[in-house]
Chain A
Amino acid sequence: MTKAKRKRLIYNCITFAIVIIAFIVLQSMIENKTITRALKGQLIPICCWIVMAVSLNLVIGISGELSLGHAGFMSVGAFTGAVVSGYLLHGLGVENETLRLVLAIVGGGLIAGLAGVVIGIPVLRLRGDYLAIVTLAFGEIIRNLVNVTYIGVSDGALVFNFLRKNVPENTRMLVDGASGAVKVAKISTFTAGFVLVLITLVVVLNLINSRSGRAIKAIRDNRIAAESMGVPVTKYKMMAFVTAAVLAGMAGALYGLNSSTVVPSQFTFNQSINVLVFVVLGGLGNVLGSVISATLLTVLPEVLRAFADYRMLVYAIVLILVMIFTNNPTIRAFADRIFAPVKRLFTGKKEAEAA
């Protein structure tokens, strides 16, 4: 095995190990009832935001396109999930919660992926910042679209309309326009969140280290050279974008089924920027970084609840500081010196000789 491959393998193993150990610790804390209620309530959202951050990292860090509407895909997933789960319960009478959750997550992922295809086909053929502009608009469009969408179950059949007055009287509403999805059965579990995080990590890490992932990275590094090597640019940009959309939709479904009401205004531009902050803070293209920063930045506001009003201010300051520190050669050299012994531990003595 070559040195680069070994390094990659170690990196992947560390990523998985951290996630699995965190799950085991938290799960045992839940069983021993030593976990605080506030933290317990945050577990599923943390899983969702990890998936969101890792999937957005695939678009921004790996494929190098700026997407500002990731919360839009989450929204699509959340409402699709609520509809699927509600229809299975009220329309088809499926009582099994696990089955409903799984189908809701799969459904949320599929519909969000479809939305990704619809947006990606025209936009990813262009060069420049068009994707940022269109995804920004997409997030807003989805929010306004859900505001006027009425979906319900009437006599075991799915009712869909854009006008409230056209919906029959005896309908059990699943998505009620601006009030969002109401009386959702809370069926999300921490285990499901953990499995979703694992699936996301497997998909993204394996994709990055495969033929397709190499092509995606090549397009990011130099589009013309990649084309000259016979790499179809649009296809691989689509692949990254749609995969991210599917994962965001799945996270959305899990997120939506974690609370009794989901409103469209939960998934605003601010949320997209939040996820972007996770990605930038964790490092572009760094999957483990996304996992850690998503976790920290989701927990932190809860811990500092008293300062919640200043959260955005703190975000801005942290972002600026991180950018200054990571780009400062002196600080980088200092950090490298500190971490050198740790690195040597993993990569063997060769590195030390080279340095």
Chain B
Amino acid sequence: MTEKKRHSDTRMVPVPSHSIVPERDLGSQPVLETSHLGIEFGGLKAVEDFNLTIGRTEIAGLIGPNGAGKTTVFNLITKVYEPTTGTVLINGKDTHGMNIVQASRLGIARTFQNIRLFGNMSVEDNVCIGLHNQIRYSMMEGVLRLPRYWGAERKMHKEALELLSIFDMQDLADTQAGSLPYGAQRRLEIVRALATNPSLLLLDEPAAGMNPHETEELMENIIKIRDRFQIAIMLIEHDMNLVMGICEGICVLNYGKVIAKGTAQEIQNNPVVVEAYLGKRKEGEK
């Protein structure tokens, strides 16, 4: 199939004409499609006319100077904010009017810029919250300790440890999440998000506070996660080594507007992007 397949069962949506996705994802429906997405906070247009398509197994990057509106885009996709304009389609489904929980059930999971772990709970319990909707039993079954409780808890324990082993954290399962070192907290957030079995994983500055060695490891792990779970990952990051190293499609935001989209190479050589980050080059300066 050469043409990108885009369809919606219920209604026609404006299709962004200038989006790119990896060639291998052409045959399948994009995980995320946003069109003319925008939000205003009392007259301030925090994000404006944001169009993006993310392929099924793409690693996408969202970059831009501080205050460009990157986290706001994440909040719009995960329905923390209801957009003022435009639509968000997740796996082809319109998320209009949904709340955070409903959006998460469509298959989005995220991490947070300022870490939001369940600090008083153990590492394993944090992952188990991610598994909340994967392995279920009712309150009564839990209170009366019926056979289903034991089976489900055993399965949860096994799966939590397996997920933690992605980052070699299975030995920390009993530690209180709030007392983990910073880097480990960031990794735990990723594991917890993965536990919800998402089709799109949103990482908000995953490498913040990590040393170069840890960042290197994180890059390998992000690719490993994509390959193993066959999911799309979108990340906000200021570490350009990470972004240019692993992101396939990159989108650059400035003042709430998309100023460039393309592959790592295209972005690096784009004068508009360079200007946004470094300012205009003076006439005659080399």
Q: Using A4-B124, A211-B132 as known contacts, say yes or no to A228 and B117 having CB atoms under 8 A apart.
A: no
The answer on a CB contact under 8 Å between A207 and B142 is yes
A228 to B109: give the CA distance in the assembly, Å: 7
A213 contacts B by Cβ under 8 Å:
yes
A249 to B99: give the CA distance in the assembly, Å: 34
The answer on a CB contact under 8 Å between A228 and B110 is yes
B101 contacts A by Cβ under 8 Å:
yes
Mark out the residues of chain A between 220 and 255 whose CB falls within 8 Å of any chain B CB in the assembled complex: 220-222, 224-233, 239
A225 to B130: give the CA distance in the assembly, Å: 10
Most chain B CB within a 10 A radius of its CB, from A207, A214, A220: A214
The one of B124, B133, B143, B156 that contacts A230, using a Cβ cutoff of 8 Å: B133
The answer on a CB contact under 8 Å between A229 and B104 is yes
The one of B129, B193, B195 that contacts A226, using a Cβ cutoff of 8 Å: B129
The answer on a CB contact under 8 Å between A207 and B139 is yes
The one of B142, B173, B192 that contacts A206, using a Cβ cutoff of 8 Å: B142
Contacts of B139 in A (CB 8 A): 207, 210, 212, 239
Give the number of chain B interface residues (Cβ < 8 Å).
43
A233 to B156: give the CA distance in the assembly, Å: 21
Query: In the complex, what's the smallest C-beta–C-beta distance from A15 to chain B, in angstroms?
Result: 16
Give the residue name and chain of the A residue nearest to B135 (CB): A211
A218 to B121: give the CA distance in the assembly, Å: 8
Query: In the complex, what's the smallest C-beta–C-beta distance from A154 to chain B, in angstroms?
Result: 39
Contacts of A220 in B (CB 8 A): 120
Known: A2-B174, A211-B137, A225-B116. 7 other contacts (CB 8 A): A4-B174, A211-B136, A211-B152, A217-B118, A221-B119, A225-B117, A229-B104
Can you list 20 A-B pairs, Cβ within 8 angstroms, ordered by A? Answer: A206-B142, A206-B144, A210-B142, A210-B153, A211-B132, A212-B142, A214-B121, A215-B132, A221-B117, A221-B121, A222-B118, A224-B100, A228-B78, A229-B129, A229-B132, A229-B192, A230-B101, A230-B132, A231-B129, A231-B132
Write the residues of chain B forming the contact surface with A, with a CB cutoff of 8 angstroms.
78, 80, 99-101, 104-105, 109-110, 112, 116-122, 124-125, 128-130, 132-133, 135-137, 139, 142-145, 149, 152-153, 156-157, 173-174, 192-193, 195-196
